[in-house]
Structures are given as structure tokens and as C-alpha cells.
Structure 1
Amino acid sequence: MEAFSNYDLLDAVTHKKVAEGHKASFCLEDTTCDVGVRRRYACTAHTQGLGPGCYDTYDAHIDCQWIDITDVAPGNYILKVTVNPDFLVPESDFTNNAARCDITYTGTHATARNCKITSN
């Protein structure tokens, strides 16, 4: 899958996209689950998926886990993350596939706050 999730950095005032990234996917599995929830899917068992209460988590050092902000000026932004943007993975509910966070970028570091699940 070419884009399992999209990462868009938007100007806080105009909502114009100033930077973007995406995550490709080759396997979905339950790498972490809430307490009391049993893992159901594992790529090594050739059964892909994400169970309720489970997550497919990745460390930051894995390729494509960032947005290149080299040319982005310091200021206020919105980070929009959309999972399964093309609806290629069957789900029981597509309304919780996006989240937005307010971002303050100083030129040397970024701070996220007010993260919320959104419908788009």
C-alpha cells in the first residue's frame, strides 16, 4: 500500500499545506494491545490486521516516520494525520481516521498540543 497514513503540516491561519509526509505499509499487525486485550494479528503468522484495542506501532528511527520541515519557517501550524486515507483497509468505522494537533515550531523544536480525533 503506497500510503497507509498521510502526515500534513498546515499553516494555522490559512490551512494551506506547507509540508507533508506519508507512511507506506507492507503489513498490519497488533504490535501493542491495551491491558486485557489479546493480540490476534501478526505478520509472521501471515494474518494481517488490527484488532480492537491494538496498535501497529513504529519507532521514530524507521524510515518514513517524519515530515521534512527543513524549509518551514518558525510559527504556528496544525499537524493532520490521516490513517487509511484511501479506505483500502476494511474497517467498522472510518470516522475516527484523522487527528489534528496544534503545533508551535520555534525553528529548533516543535511542540504539539490540543490533539483531537476529527472526521477529516
Structure 2
Amino acid sequence: LQWDEELANQIRSLSDPPSTEHPNDADQLMLVSGLEANMIQYKYFTNDSCELDEPCIGNAGWRRVLMFDSSDENVGGANLLIGEIYQVLDDYTQVHASVTNHGLYEYDTCHRHYHFTHYGSFTFGNSDPTKGKRAFCLISTGRQANAEWSSLWSPFYSCTYQGCTPGWTDTYQAGIPCQWIDITDYSTTNSSITGSLTAIMNQDNMLCEGQLVLDAQGNFTWEPTEFTAINGETVFKQKCVTGTNPSTLANNIHQIDVTIPTDGNGYVTVRTE
């Protein structure tokens, strides 16, 4: 088939939905499809389980957990840039980078990787939002938008350098530790319970959904927040201009109804040691 510009223009994919309306901003959209991929399991946890330290379970022993995917897409036209989390030296030791030096990411001695506690808030009904997901690797896991404005390649493919490319998604799959809500205390002995599974991305506005403010050398600039790190120091966040399009913060929430069946129905039993 010879080159035919007219024919090629007929199959161009300029704005495969969701198309970018914010060409100069990063804009993370929480996808409802992730919440729809949910399941309920019984899982067993020992007294030294890392999940108790998070905490994303109420107690050790058998727990009933509502698992689900968490997926958010950058529907803006600019990278959601977090940056370098750490450097790995030739002797395999890790050296903190700017993001960790400012407390935005913190090293978890139990899981032995860095945690980002402000990734999202996940609740079922009236569950406690502080007992839930801790992100550790916000990267471009898949290309969602088949459009010319979305690059075929993303530089954010490793936990050492994190962010999300326009048109790409960051997905945490159900089954990853703490990618769930502990629903053990909901009584379904006599009847099922239906409640709202709610996900809020970037609930503390710690990620720059807009444009980063850089210094003359192109480095991040930082500002203090109300949050405190494990070591008692103030957590800083990257300075960001979100006023270019305030709607970038309005699409960070999704909610669906989920039914917990009566006891003995719809469960998978798993024991973890």
C-alpha cells in the first residue's frame, strides 16, 4: 500500500477519550473501572505482619477484606512529575533523593521500601480512611489513551523515578498488600450489606496536578505542609500552580455501591504466613 496522506488522516487518533483539555497541566483522573474490579477474601495475618503497622487491618488473625483495583489516569497534557525517590549505588546501597529528603516519601522498615502516605483515601461506608492504602510506586503502568497527544513511551517505569505520563495510568491491582479495606467488623450473619466504596486520589493535594514551580536551575522548589513525618519533621511538598485549571482537582473522586454477601457466600480463603 503506497503512502496516502488523505487515507492516513482518516484514521488519526487525535482525541481518543478521555481527551486532554489541560494541555499545560498534569491532571490525574480516578477511574471507576478500578473500583469495579473488586472481590472479598478472608486472609490470615500473624502478629508480626507488616499490615498491622500500616495499619490496614484491625487485628491479627483471620480478617475479611474488600479488595479492589486502584487506577488513575493522567488526562492532562503535562507529566505528573514526582521525580527521583532514591539512587542505587554500585554497592547496592540506597541514597535519598530530594523527594525523600523533604519527607514526601518515607522509608518503611517492615516492607523495606518507600511509602507515600498521601496517594489516596479509600473507604467503604463509614470505615476509617486512615487505615488503608499506602502507595509506594506511582508510575506509568499502562497506556490508556490511544491518541497522538499520548506518548508511546514513558520515562516513569521504575520505582526509583516516579510520575505519570499524559494518557497513561498508574494501577495498583487487587491483591497487592493493603490494596483493600478491612470489613471484618461488618455483621452479615443475617443479611447482606450494601455500601459505598469511595476512592479519592491526591486527597491532601500533595501531588502537583497543575504546573510545577522550578528554580532557575530547573530544580523543584518546596513549601511546608501541615503534615509531620515519622521522624517528627515537617513534610514538604513541591510548589505547584493549580490555578491554570482548577478542574484538575475536581475529578479525583469516584464512588460505587458494593454488596457484602451474607456469611458463607462469595469468599475466597487465603492464609498468609
1:113 paired residue number: none
Q: Aligned match of 2:141 in 31, 48, 52?
A: 31
The question of whether the paired residues in 2 share the 8 Å contact of 1:4 and 1:22 is answered with no
1:69 CA drift (Å): 0.9
1:6 paired residue number: 121
1:22 CA drift (Å): 2.6
2:206 paired residue number: 88
Question: What per-residue deviation string (whole Å, max 9, x for no partner) do you get for residues 22-81 of structure 1?
Answer: 321233211111235324242538542112221111222211110111111331201110
The question of whether the paired residues in 2 share the 8 Å contact of 1:31 and 1:56 is answered with yes
In the alignment, the residues of structure 1 paired with residue 252 and residue 132 of structure 2 have an alpha-carbon distance, to the nearest angstrom, of 14
How high is the TM-score relative to the length of structure 2?
0.34
Structure 1 segment 51-66 matched on structure 2, within 5 A:
51-66=165-180
Unaligned runs of 5+ in 2: 1-115, 211-247, 268-273
Provide the aligned length of Structure 1 versus Structure 2. 104
In the alignment, the residues of structure 2 paired with residue 109 and residue 7 of structure 1 have an alpha-carbon distance, to the nearest angstrom, of 22
One-letter amino acid of the counterpart of residue 5, structure 1: G
In the alignment, the residues of structure 1 paired with residue 153 and residue 132 of structure 2 have an alpha-carbon distance, to the nearest angstrom, of 26
One-letter amino acid of the counterpart of residue 209, structure 2: E
In the alignment, the residues of structure 2 paired with residue 85 and residue 45 of structure 1 have an alpha-carbon distance, to the nearest angstrom, of 21
Q: Percent identity?
A: 29
The question of whether the paired residues in 1 share the 8 Å contact of 2:122 and 2:198 is answered with yes
In the alignment, the residues of structure 1 paired with residue 135 and residue 205 of structure 2 have an alpha-carbon distance, to the nearest angstrom, of 14
SS in 2 for 1:49: strand
Q: 1:50 to 1:4 in 2, by over 3 A?
A: same
The question of whether the paired residues in 1 share the 8 Å contact of 2:156 and 2:164 is answered with no
One-letter amino acid of the counterpart of residue 199, structure 2: V
How high is the TM-score relative to the length of structure 1?
0.72
One-letter amino acid of the counterpart of residue 117, structure 2: E
1:94 CA drift (Å): 0.8
SS in 2 for 1:24: coil
1:71 paired residue number: 185
C-alpha RMSD of the superposition: 2.4
**Whose helix proportion is higher, 1 or 2?**
2
In the alignment, the residues of structure 2 paired with residue 100 and residue 90 of structure 1 have an alpha-carbon distance, to the nearest angstrom, of 23
